[in-house]
Amino acid sequence: MASPAAFARILRSRGPLSPPTGAIFSNSLPLSTPTPTCAAAAAAAATFGARRTPGSTHAMSTDAPAAADKGKKAARRVEGPADLSTVSPIRGLFYGSLASYERHCRPYPLSLSPDAATTLAEMVAPVEAWFKTVPSARIDEEHAIPDAVMDGMRELGLFGLQIPTELGGLGLSNTAYARMAEEFVMDPSLAVTLMAHQSIGLKGIIMYGTPEQKARYLPKLASGEQLAAFALTEPTTGSDAASVRLRADPTPDGKGFVLNGQKMWISNGGIARTYTVFARTPTATPGETKLTAFIVNRDESTGIVPGAPEKKLGIRGSNTCVVNFDNCFVPRENVLGEVNGGFKVAMGILNNGRFGMGAASAGGLRKLIGAYCVGGARLL
C-alpha cells in the first residue's frame, strides 16, 4: 500500500478531479436546451479535456498528448444516434437529454384547452353516475362481470377511449384517459378489465400497428365487441421481460410463425379475442433468438387455449389466467413492429400504459378521502 506522501504525489500527478468549467457532462448543462449530438459531445469533451466520457467514470490524465489521444478514443466511443429521443430513457439521461424520458416515460400530462376540459367534464359525468349503479358486491362474490355491466361499458364507449375516432374510438389524450380512469376505478374489477384491454392489450396496435393492422383490429376493440389482452408474463418470466421462452418458429414457406409455450397471469386472458403476444424468434446468427411481438386473434388462429380463471384475493371479477399456445399459426402480417424488435415494443407499451394505473389509484384514493374525510375529518 502507498504511503500518505506517495499517495499525495499520485493525486497531484493526476490533476484536479472535478470537471473544468464548461465540460459537457457537468451538471451546468440546462436540461431543456437542445442536446448536442453525441459526436459533438465527444468533440467538446476532447477540447475541454473533460474528465469523463459517457460510459466511463475514470479520471483522465492532464498530460496533453495523452489527453488528446484519449479524446480521440472518446470521440470514437460516444458516437451514437443524433436523435436522443430514440435511445433508452436512462441512456438519454447520461447524455444530458430528457428527450427519450419525456417520450417514453412521461406521456402524461398534457394540459387541456378550456373547450377540451368542458367536453371531458361532460363525458365524465354520465360515467360517474353509471358506476354508482354497478353491482360491485355481486361481481366480487360471483368472480364475474354480468353481461349487462359489460354492455353498459360498451354503450358508454369505455372500451375505445384512446382509439382514434376514425376507427370507432373516442380518441382521448392521455390526460383525458387518466381522468376517466379515476372514475372506472370505482369498481376495481372493471378497471382492470378496461385497463388490461386498452392500457396494454391494444396499446401496441395503436403505437406500432400498420394502417392495415389498425383498420383490421381496432374497430371491434373500440366497440368492445372484442376484448384485448397483453401476454408477456410466463412461469419463468416476470420482471425480467427479456427472458421470455415462448417460441415462435418461422414456417418453411415464410408465411408466418408457429407459437408454442405458455403465458400466465394474463388479465382478460380467458375472455379476450385479440392478444398482443411476445415470443422468441431466431435471428440470422445461428442459435440466437430475440423477442418479437405478434397480434394473435382467436377468430383467425387455432391453438390458443386459456386456462381456468385464477381465484384472487381482490379484483375478483377481472379475468386472470394462463394462456397456452399449442402449434398456433400466426401469419407474418401479424408481426407487431419488426421481427426481433419485440422487446422495444413491450417496453414501449408498458411505459406508455402504466400511467393509467397511477391515475386510477390516485382517483380511488381521492374518492376514499372524499367519502371518509368529509368536512375535514381525519383519516385515522
Ligand X SMILES: Cc1cc2nc3c(=O)[nH]c(=O)nc-3n(C[C@H](O)[C@H](O)[C@H](O)COP(=O)(O)OP(=O)(O)OC[C@H]3O[C@@H](n4cnc5c(N)ncnc54)[C@H](O)[C@@H]3O)c2cc1C
Which cell is 17 given?
478531479
274 or 320: CB nearest ligand X: 320
Burial, 254: exposed, middle or buried (Cβ in 10 Å; 0-12, 13-18, 19+)?
Answer: exposed
* Spatial CB neighbours of 353, under 8 Å, sequence gap ≥ 6: 195, 199, 200, 203
Q: How far is the CB of 336 from ligand X (least distance, A)?
A: 15
Which residues between 321 and 360 bind ligand X (CB under 6 A)?
Answer: none
Which residues between 247 and 286 bind ligand X (CB under 6 A)?
Answer: 265-267
98 or 336: CB nearest ligand X: 336
175 or 276: CB nearest ligand X: 276
Which residues between 87 and 126 bind ligand X (CB under 6 A)?
Answer: none
* Closest C-alpha to 169, from 121, 143, 145, 202: 202
Q: Helices (DSSP H) in the chain: which residue ranges?
A: 4-14, 38-48, 64-78, 89-94, 99-105, 114-131, 136-142, 147-155, 174-184, 188-195, 203-208, 211-223, 342-372
Residue nearest to ligand X (CB): 238
175 or 233: CB nearest ligand X: 233
Q: How far is the CB of 310 from ligand X (least distance, A)?
A: 8
Contact region for ligand X (CB under 6 A) — 124-132, 158-166, 206-214, 226-234? 226-234
How many chain residues touch ligand X (CB under 6 A)?
A: 12
Gap between the Cα atoms of 207 and 296, Å rounded: 16
* Closest C-alpha to 97, from 33, 53, 44: 33
Pairing of strands 228-231, 274-282: parallel
Q: How far is the CB of 183 from ligand X (least distance, A)?
A: 21
Q: How far is the CB of 105 from ligand X (least distance, A)?
A: 17
Which cell is 340 given?
426481433
Q: What is the residue whose three cell numbers read 377511449? A: 161
Question: Does position 196 bind ligand X by CB under 6 A?
Answer: yes
Q: How far is the CB of 350 from ligand X (least distance, A)?
A: 9
Question: Does position 320 bind ligand X by CB under 6 A?
Answer: yes
Positions that interact with ligand X (CB under 6 A): 196, 229-233, 238-239, 265-267, 320
